Structure 1
Amino acid sequence: MKVVVTEYNDTWNHMFSEEAQKIKGIFGDELVDIHHIGSTSVPGLKAKPIIDIMPVVKDIEKVDAFDEQMTGLGYECMGEFGIKGRRYFRKGGDNRTHQIHVFQVDNKEAIERHLAVRDFLRTHVEAAKQYGNLKEMLAKHYPDDIEAYMDGKDAFVKELERTALYWFGNVNS
């Protein structure tokens, strides 16, 4: 997979909304909420142009029954894909356009981690700028090595998550 980081694009929010409507149609009453997460959800943040979507459902086990319909939308159904309690779907193959990370409503830790990072970056412009610059630099250094790109972000992301969760807990208490 080619690693490409671009300037923020205003169409990303529209792309999320369009896909969220399709997911709502499939998940129906099982869906509790649906969030635009990841870098494309943060205005002004440089990002890989892949829309990350986080549906929150009543029962994670019931999501497997939607695999055929998700495949019909062009998604590859990946199961937990390394994260217990998640269902992961990706669309676009090597030119990925969307990723879906489904969590059960009581998986507060996973849900809050994603929302905390998103909301922190939306309100802390300097942190978002640092993160975007790091991603841009790594993409230039490792355009054909997604693993090296991810490894290069790892320490920054772990610190960002820690800081964001602390901030999120204080804002929402």
Structure 2
Amino acid sequence: MRKVEVVPHNPKWRDAFAQEKQQIWQTLSDNIVAIHHIGSTAIPNIYAKPIIDLLVEVKAIAKIDRCNPSMVALGYEAMGEFGIPGRRFFRKNDAVGVRTHHVHTFEVGEPQVEKHLVFRDYMIAHQEDAQQYSELKRELARKHPHDIDSYMDGKDEFIQQMSAKAAKWHEQMPSD
């Protein structure tokens, strides 16, 4: 049973992302369009589970399944769609079994890509909302220290509200 743990933001998460990004890029290179740091470790000054989330945009999602052995060689477990159609999900643990990384792979143009990036960018730009999210996560981790499903369920409504705010915010931004 995994302990639900949220910790203060660690500036080293950016370096951990950059290091993992390089390894994944070398492994999936011909299919990759971009690799983004998402999730709470990408949002400065908030508490987060110390797991680096990477969003990998690829040209062809079908090719990713053929790369499973290469991802396994990097220490990842291939999880398939894992509840989100069109995604290929990988998770990685350290030597003692502590989760360290998640890789969410989507084909370019998949709506989930923009949803994740807009949520991240909104939270970075709106520190008050980010702090509310941080406090909610701390409270849920205290309430559900050994129940990841209840922790995740407890965040769901807030994430949906923030995702709606983020989408409106994004629509109002000037286009390049």
Shorter-chain TM-score range: over 0.9
Give 1:130's aligned residue. Answer: 132
Shift of 1:166: 1.3
Provide the rounded CA distance (Å) in 1 between the counterparts of 2:105 and 2:31: 11
Say whether residues 1:157 and 2:159 are aligned partners. Answer: yes
Q: Which residue identity lines up with residue 57 of structure 2 in the other structure? A: V
Q: Which residue identity lines up with residue 99 of structure 2 in the other structure? A: R
Please, what TM-score do these two structures have when normalized by structure 2? 0.95
CA RMSD of aligned residues (A): 1.1
Shift of 1:154: 1.1
Q: Which residue identity lines up with residue 168 of structure 1 in the other structure? A: H
Q: Which residue identity lines up with residue 47 of structure 1 in the other structure? A: A
Shift of 1:88: 0.1
Q: Which residue identity lines up with residue 122 of structure 1 in the other structure? A: I
Q: Which runs of 5+ in 1 are unaligned?
A: none
Kept in 2, the 8 Å contact 1:112–1:165? The answer is no
**Deviations, residues 53-102 of structure 1 (Å, cap 9, x unaligned):** 00100000001111001001110000111111000000018521000000
Give 1:41's aligned residue. Answer: 42
Q: Which residue identity lines up with residue 43 of structure 1 in the other structure? A: P
Kept in 2, the 8 Å contact 1:75–1:91? The answer is yes
Give 1:112's aligned residue. Answer: 114
Kindly tell me the number of residue pairs found equivalent between the two proteins.
172
Provide the rounded CA distance (Å) in 2 between the counterparts of 1:68 and 1:169: 40
Kept in 2, the 8 Å contact 1:60–1:85? The answer is yes
Shift of 1:172: 5.0
Q: Which residue identity lines up with residue 31 of structure 1 in the other structure? A: I
Provide the rounded CA distance (Å) in 2 between the counterparts of 1:5 and 1:20: 23
Shift of 1:169: 2.0
Give 1:95's aligned residue. Answer: 98
Shift of 1:168: 1.4
Percent identical pairs in the alignment equals: 47
Partner of 1:106: helix, strand, or coil?
coil
Shift of 1:103: 0.4
Shift of 1:8: 0.2
Superposed, 1:73-88 pairs within 5 Å as: 73-88=74-89
Provide the rounded CA distance (Å) in 2 between the counterparts of 1:88 and 1:172: 33
Q: Which runs of 5+ in 2 are unaligned?
A: none
**Deviations, residues 90-148 of structure 1 (Å, cap 9, x unaligned):** 001852100000000021x1011000110001010000000000000110111001111
Please, what TM-score do these two structures have when normalized by structure 1? 0.96
Moved over 6 A (4+): none
